[in-house]
Structure 1
């Protein structure tokens, strides 16, 4: 996790709310898309755990009042994730075609998408777990595919004392020690930081 990560949540609030009056703010989403696309082939879902404004908002704002329940496994299924990805990308593309290239209308499309998905993320975050949305987020799914098995956290079994502290701090509720090849690790590094024996480390 970067030092700025806890403060990035304010950006999603600004775009979602102020963007309704200033559609140009919607173009910030293009910067987000471009950044994660550039990073994911080399670091997988690193963007999700370090630079994603919505992820930051979920962790450090919603997380304070979340029910913190177990995330339903079905939401991680590609039978759920791929249809959601295709629907949202298709719908966004359809709406963009209707703007006829008008600058403010294009910006507003991104604002509405940001507001809608953030609202869903908040509702799921409050009722289940802060990172529930992230298990099937279209951009997270895309990074999952592009990143393959890059930059995974590795376990030194000889050092591990089975304290399970890593599992307890994982925001994605992954079984860290037994799921080391899971592409949905968001590379936040919390498991590495909390390990008392330095048994975990990221490797390409």
Structure 2
């Protein structure tokens, strides 16, 4: 992960709380969406593990109070993820259409983004404490979009001749993936914690 990653969580707090008084802060959300969509083309979910403010918040803030349970497998299913994506995107689009041609449209649209950020962060917080920090990330609409756009890019590679099956990589994986199996991992967030903890340097990322 990047050196700034642990500190980015403050932005989601600012948008979710301060944004209620200053809706213009809500426009950070579409900026974030734009950046993650651009990076997903070549690096999949790299943004999630390195630049996502909510990811930083739940990893380094919520992670201190989590029960650290196994993330339910059904939450990773596209039967859950696609409906959640369509529901949230549809609701946001509907609300924006309703405020077009009204007074104070800039602030009204900003508030829509703020409320979306607040609601999704609240869900992430509850799931993060009650199950595991990255539970929300398993079915996050933006994470799902990145998975579909570039999930096969910048994959984690396992050097079998060096792997000693110590499972240290899987213990530190925030997404609870089967790290050292060598299978395609479109939901890997490229945080590189597995790479850092591997005692034999058997893991590396390649485009």
> TM-score of the superposition, structure 1-length normalised?
0.99
Q: Which residue of the partner structure matches residue 180 of structure 2? A: 177
Distance (Å, rounded) in 2 between the aligned partners of 1:100 and 1:79: 32
State the shift of 1:132 in Å.
0.2
Q: Mean Cα displacement is larger for which, 154-163 or 178-187?
A: 178-187
Q: Which residue of the partner structure matches residue 3 of structure 1? A: 3
> TM-score of the superposition, structure 2-length normalised?
0.97
Distance (Å, rounded) in 2 between the aligned partners of 1:23 and 1:85: 23
Distance (Å, rounded) in 2 between the aligned partners of 1:113 and 1:85: 13
- Residue by residue over 1:147-177, the C-alpha shift from the partner in whole angstroms, topping out at 9 and shown as x without a partner, is 1310011000000011110000000000101
Distance (Å, rounded) in 2 between the aligned partners of 1:80 and 1:150: 23
> Secondary structure of 1:19's match?
helix
Distance (Å, rounded) in 2 between the aligned partners of 1:147 and 1:134: 16
> Secondary structure of 2:3's match?
coil
State the shift of 1:100 in Å.
1.2
Q: Which residue of the partner structure matches residue 157 of structure 2? A: 154
State whether residues 153 and 180 of structure 1, in contact with CA within 8 Å, keep that contact through their aligned partners in structure 2. no
Q: Which residue of the partner structure matches residue 87 of structure 2? A: 87
Q: Which stretches in structure 2 are left out of the alignment for 5+ residues?
A: none
Q: Which consecutive aligned stretches of 4+ in structure 1 deviate over 6 angstroms post-superposition?
A: none
State whether residues 43 and 150 of structure 2, in contact with CA within 8 Å, keep that contact through their aligned partners in structure 1. yes
> Secondary structure of 2:165's match?
coil
> Secondary structure of 1:184's match?
coil
State the shift of 1:179 in Å.
5.3
Q: Which residue of the partner structure matches residue 96 of structure 1? A: 96
State whether residues 154 and 201 of structure 1, in contact with CA within 8 Å, keep that contact through their aligned partners in structure 2. yes
What is the root-mean-square deviation in Å for CA atoms of aligned residues? 0.7
Q: Which residue of the partner structure matches residue 31 of structure 1? A: 31
State the shift of 1:180 in Å.
3.6
Number of residue equivalences: 204
